[in-house]
Amino acid sequence: MATQQQVQHPQKRQQSKSQLKWRLIIAVVIVALIISTVWVLSSLAIIPGIWATILSTLVAVVGVVFALLPLISSPGRPEAPALPLARELVRESVSFRMGDRTAANFDYITEPIKNAYETARQTLHDVSVGADARLGILILGIANAGKTRLAFEALTQTLPDWNVLLWNATYDTLSKVPVPTVSRGSGLVVFIDDLQEYVPPESYDA
């Protein structure tokens, strides 16, 4: 997913592998303790040998199921992506086509576009607190006018702690749109750059 290329943070897949490792370790320790106890009781003639064998087998099976339960309960299901926060986005990444690296990193001067910048920021703020019925902003303009940079700066300055889903061309059907995990207490921003690429030509004049 494109958003996972924007930040340097632990991947959820690595966390899942770590959790699975610890489940295996815990299962092995518990199973070993229980089986050892069963055979000690069997050696003391407290439990018949046949029952010791049956109990040991059952405990081993339960231990394996416990350790592998996450894989058994969700076979083949893609993991939900952990989205970056707006303040973690990187301007010069491939997901933000702002021209060359220099254009993506020059100091952002808002004075020449003060009205547009403040309007974008105010709208995002109002939407975030439920004070505006709109669901976001749409920035129009000619090529290389700075639309993406304006959206980027307004977003990162206004909603730095909101999670961001960077839309890309692979989401051509609903089944391909990832179901992201969102930080508790945080909102979700869907950032769509070059909107014309996702709208049929016949809809341009609609």
Domain boundaries, the chain: 2-73, 86-203
Contacts from 103-109 at CB under 8 Å and sequence distance 24+?
A: 103/149, 104/149, 108/149, 108/153
Question: Whose structure tokens read 């989205």?
Answer: 83
Give the lowest-confidence range in 32-36, 117-121, 137-141: 32-36
> For all residues of the chain together, what is the average pLDDT?
75
**pLDDT recorded at residue 155:** 92
d(Cα 145, Cα 129) in Å, to the nearest integer?
29
Select the more confidently predicted residue: 41 or 123.
Answer: 123
- The pTM of this model reads 0.56
**pLDDT recorded at residue 71:** 61
* The pair of three-digit structure tokens given for residue 203, joined into one six-digit string: 């809809």
Residue 139 has pLDDT above 80, yes or no: yes
Closest CA to 154 of 106, 104, 110: 110
* Dihedral of the alpha carbons of 22, 26, 28, 31, in degrees to the nearest 10: -160
Residue 159 pLDDT level (bands cut at 50, 70, 90): very high
Residue 9 has pLDDT above 60, yes or no: no
H/E segment holding residue 41? helix 12-43
Closest CA to 116 of 73, 86, 149, 88: 149
